[in-house]
Every structure is written in structure tokens, then in C-alpha cells.
Amino acid sequence: MGDSKRQRILMVSDFFYPNFGGVENHIYLLSQCLIKLGHKVVVMTHAYGNRSGVRYMTGGLKVYYVPWKPFLMQNTLPTFYGTLPIIRTILIREQISLVHGHQAFSTLCHEALMHARTMGYKVVFTDHSLYGFADVGSIHMNKDCHQKRLVYRKGADLLVEVIPEVCRMYPNVRFIVGGDGPKRVRLEEMREKHSLQDRVEMLGAVPHARVRSVLISGHIFLNSSLTEAFCIAILEAASCGLLTVSTRVGGVPEVLPDDMIVLAEPDPTDMVQAIKKAISILPMIDPQDMHNRMKKLYDWHDVAKRTEIVYDRALKCSNQSLLERLSRYLACGAWAGKLFCLVMIIDFLLWRLLQLWKPAEDIEVVPDIVLSHDED
Amino acid sequence: MDNNIAENPSPTRAKWRKVAYGGMQPRFDDNHTDDSFLEGMVMNANVVKRDMLKVMQDSISISQYLCIVVLVGLVWTYTLRSTLDETSLLYLDVSLLGSGFLVLLLTKEMLSLNLLLHYLLNVFLFTTGLYVLAPVYQTLTRSISSDSIWAVTVSLLILHLFLHDYSGSTVRAPGALKNPTLTSFISLNASVVASVFIASRLPSRLHVFAIMLFSLQVFLFAPLFDGHDVGFCLYTTPATFCSVVGFIGFCDCGVSLMAYTDARIQV
């Protein structure tokens, strides 16, 4: 709130461009908005194939692609102390004031946070939803159905029951199903069994860039997930002016206002009722109006401002010496507490060793380059 | 950029809503929650309630089967060491057959003479077949070293124990092997092959016949008795366990006695 001091923020995660996904987008867009607010942002991630070293992205966003090979699902091998030297170097070079880690599945993030705490920096951690990996992003909508990834988590089995029923009740309703996955076979079977080839169109995997063009060809968006933390797909559909019908699971009821979404229990009959209701209120929906409302409801600059508030709070936390921190770690459990303390003590000793071996004065500090905002 | 929805610009404090859209709610902290926040939380959704008695029964049947397999292994070891000679083995076989028939008589509801004759005929054919094939088994592994035989037998027995269908004691409709799965077939084959390997190491045809009959009686017919009477299981398990311990103890005494006398003789 107001004009806080200019911070230098290090974003750490295993997931960043050139990977595509929720976490990656979040980090990139948040960094861009923070830069516009006047802060300096540096991103640290692991190398992707040949893309290793330092790269600059839009707005002067500096990205360190640390040359560690990912070993499992885009995660670097957790070596506990292997990343300490490089993280220390980056923190000193860029004169970082705050470290922001992303995604609980990212080992690089956790290691960076641990080392940053040892070295006395303030840290912030954001845990994204459980399934934060790169989405296939296949979304199809057309006067009816939308389907994302055809895995059991997405309730493909629900769709298999709902689609024939709706097709029977409404002769002029068509479905477009996008996405690929283990349950695609079930949908194809359902299509064959009820002879719905001309009414159910299966598009297969849709690349993220084509999602919008597929979305705007539809009128209602159907989401039948059985578990969902947030569901970006619903946001994307609402931004394209589609009315959403979704299962009432997880965080879905909190995503859209009640007049933009029709909720149903994850039960075929209830979902058919919801689709009926959606079709009946469809004439009253104005896509352009919905799009304009969505622009105001979700805004990256708003997210950046709220993140700034969190950063200010974090920076106001008191500095704790090693002993005080160790007493907090000890409280974690009978055996775990002692193990954690051991890990942190070794980390501290290694840090002191590094300070003797490679003193901070020898590390070149990067001069501040502020891109003129007129050129945006 | 205007990013807050003014839902109702009333002077009184607006109510906090559990929604993700609309940016920060005015006059509330970003991480503010109220009592309704955890309304939808479901705890222990998939907890399975276990019945103590049933768990005990199942664990008893598993440990009983383990003891039986250990007994079989013991008999094999002592036959190979010539502690048990072929006549005692044959007595063992006959007594096993006899007790099997006794259990059958006691537990089957309606036992006609026809059925009894049917069973006797099967047993007779089985025994004759084994006797005829015994020379084949004897020469089967002559070219393989003993160490390989012991290693393979032990691993096959472990595989048999691992993949065995232990659900025999659950309450189901009485009958023979019910809905056998692939793993139960594999385990049965493993045990039979292990018996064949052991039998092939024995000196005489009668040895081979006796040990094969014994092993196959246990491995093929024991599962048939699994579901019959849980009370029966409860009594036989301690008996089996004690007999295992007793057998080991007795044979160890015998062996050490023999070793002692051997030493004395040598001196």
C-alpha cells in the first residue's frame, strides 16, 4: 500500500519458461507487474536443455538458468547443500533483499529458501495447487461441453453419462471435446455406442495458443472435475464470454460470481439439471459484458499489489539468530526436530566455510539497470 | 487501475465473503478468514473401520500357513540329511492322508459313499501317477549343482509365500478354489517346482516318491481346508506352531546327539 521501498526480489522455482503452465505463467506475470511497480526482479531456475546461463526477458527480467539437470518431472536433484554456492553468489551479486519461492514440488525452491534463511534473508513461499504442472490446455467448447484433460481426476466418467442424456433431451445441442489422456477411450466408446459422431466432436490435444479460438466457438463451458483447487480453465472460459457449468468441488465455488456459473453436485442427474438451467438462461448472457466484468475481477496488477503487501510484512519480521531458529526447528517433532537442526547446523557451517573461501567482497555486484518506462 | 468491485457501498463494515475474485476486500486483511471458512472440510473421508476379531482370524490363517510351509521345509531338510528315512516318510504320508480324510468326514455335511469312492479313486490315481513318474524326477537335475538347487528352491518358496492367496479363511460359500487369480496359480506352480527340485536330489526312487507325495499333499490339498472351520484354524495354529518348534528342537537334539557321539567315537 502506498509507495514501499524498492525491493530486489529473487523468484526461485524449477518451473519457468520455456515450460508452459500455471506456475510458470504466475511467476512471469507477477514479475512483470512487480517490475512495473518499480521493483527489481530476478528469476532463478534450472537449465532447460541448451538454455543455460543468464537470459533477459521482457522489461529487463533477468533469468538465471542454473546448469543443473532436471532428474524427475522437471525437478532438479535434491542435494541439500549443492546449490548453496550458486545461490549465495546470486544473492550477493544482485543484492537481493527478499527471496520468493514457488511450488511445493520444486526442490530447487526449497533448497533456495533453506539457504536464504541460513544466510539471513527474508523469504516468502507460495504453494500453487497440487496439479501445477504444464497443462495440455485443451479446452473445447461449443454450445456445450468442454473438457480439459481426460483423466479420472477430471471426471471423464461423469461426462460419459451426461453427454448422451443431454443429447437426447436437446436435439440441437452439440459438444466439442478437447484434450487427450487415459480416459479418451471411454468417451470414444460412448460416442460409438450412442451414435453421436455428428454431435460430439473430439478434437484431441489442443495447443495452448489455439485454446481461445476453440473457446469462442462455444456457448457453454462444462467442467466435470472431481477434484479441483482453483481451475484456471473456468476463468479462461468466462473471459471468452462463455457461461460455465461446473461440479461443486474444491475451490470452484469461489472462482466466479454466482451469475456467471451454474454449479452442480458431481452426480450425473444433477449435472444434467444444471445444463438444463444453463441452456435456459443462455439467451440472457452477453459475452462482451462477461468479458468486461472478468477484466475487473481478476487482475495481475492487483495480485502484484497484494504480493507487495506480503513482502512488506515479511521484511518487517525480526532477524533471528541461528540459536533462536534452531529452537523453533526443534519443536517440529521428536526425531524430525533434531534432524532438521542437524541439517541447518551443517548448512550454517558450510556457509561460514564459503565465506572464508570466497569472501563476499570478491563477488562482483551487478549494477542497477533501470529500463525507461516510456519505452513500454 | 480500478480493481475493486463496490458491491454495496454502505457505510457499515461490509461482510467478508469467501471468494477469490474481486481483489482485496476492503477493510479486511488479505489472509482474513471467518468461521465459515472451513465449513466444507471433510475429515477421515475414506477411513475403513476394521473389526478386531476378523483381523485376528486373518492374521492367524496367514501365520498358520507360514508355519506349515516351514514344516515342509524342515521335512525336506531332514530327508536330505538322511535324518528321516523313507519308511518314516511313508508313514508320514499315510497319516497325512488319513487325517485329511478324517477332517473331510467330520466337516462335510452330506457324504455319500459315491463321493467317498470318488475321492479315494482320485487319491489312488494321483499316488500311482507319482510312483510311476518318480524315476523321471530322480534324474531331472543331475547336471545342476547343489548350490543352485538350494538357491532356486529357497527363492521359489519365498515367491510361493509372497503370492499365495491368503483369503481362504474369509467367509465365503464353501467349495473348492474360489475365483483363483493369476498370482495364486503362480504361487502354486512355484511350490510344486520347488518340491520337484528337492525330490531330484534324493538317492532312491522310494525317497523321491515319498517326498513328492508329502509335498504335493501339503501344497495341493492344504488350501482346500482353509475355509472350513475357523475354530478349527484357531486350534490347529497353536498346534502347528508348537509342532514346528518341537520338531526343530527334537531334530536339533538328535543332530547334536549324533554329532556328540560321532566326536566321542572319533576320539
Across the interface, whether the CB atoms of B3 and A302 are under 8 A apart is answered: yes
Per CB-CB distance under 8 Å, the chain A contacts of B22 are 297
Over range A47-73, report the average pLDDT: 90
Q: Angle B90-B155-B55 (CA atoms, 0-180°, nearest 5)?
A: 85
Distance from CA of B10 to the nearest CA of A (A): 20
- Dump pLDDT digits (tens) for A247-271: 888 888 889 999 899 999 888 899 9
Per CB-CB distance under 8 Å, the chain A contacts of B2 are 296
Q: What is the dihedral of CA B246, B248, B251, B257, to 10 degrees?
A: -100
Over range A284-298, report the average pLDDT: 91
Handedness of CA A267, A270, A275, A278 (dihedral sign): negative
Q: Could you tell me how many residues make up chain B?
A: 267
Q: What is the pLDDT of residue B260?
A: 63
Helix, strand, coil content of chain B in percent (nearest 5): 65, 0, 35
Q: For this complex, say whether ipTM is above 0.85.
A: no
pLDDT of A131 over the 80 cut: no
Place of cell 573461501: A357
pTM of the model: 0.66
φ/ψ region of B92 (left if φ > 0, alpha if ψ in -120 to 50, else beta) reads: alpha
Chain A residues near any Cβ of chain B (below 8 Å): 230, 251, 254-257, 296-299, 301-302, 305-306, 309-310
- For A364, phi and psi rounded to 5 degrees? -70, 135
- Dump pLDDT digits (tens) for B194-252: 999 999 988 888 889 999 999 999 998 877 766 554 445 455 555 566 566 666 666 56
Q: What is the pLDDT of residue B251?
A: 57
Q: What is the pLDDT of residue B241?
A: 61
CB B152 within 8 A of CB B231: no
φ/ψ region of A238 (left if φ > 0, alpha if ψ in -120 to 50, else beta) reads: alpha
Per CB-CB distance under 8 Å, the chain B contacts of A311 are none
User: What pLDDT tens digit does each residue of chain B (267 aa) get?
Assistant: 444 444 444 455 678 888 888 888 888 888 888 888 888 788 888 888 899 998 998 888 889 889 999 999 999 999 998 888 888 889 999 998 888 888 877 777 666 788 888 888 988 998 999 899 888 888 888 888 989 999 999 999 999 999 988 876 554 444 555 667 888 889 999 999 999 999 998 888 888 999 999 999 999 887 776 655 444 545 555 556 656 666 666 656 666 666 666 656 554
Across the interface, whether the CB atoms of B1 and A302 are under 8 A apart is answered: yes
Q: What is the pLDDT of residue A78?
A: 83
Across the interface, whether the CB atoms of B5 and A301 are under 8 A apart is answered: no
Q: What is the pLDDT of residue A293?
A: 92
Q: What is the distance between the alpha carbons of residues A40 and A32, in angstroms, rounded to a whole number?
A: 10
- Among residues A290, A312, A149, the alpha carbon closest in space to that of A233 is found at A149
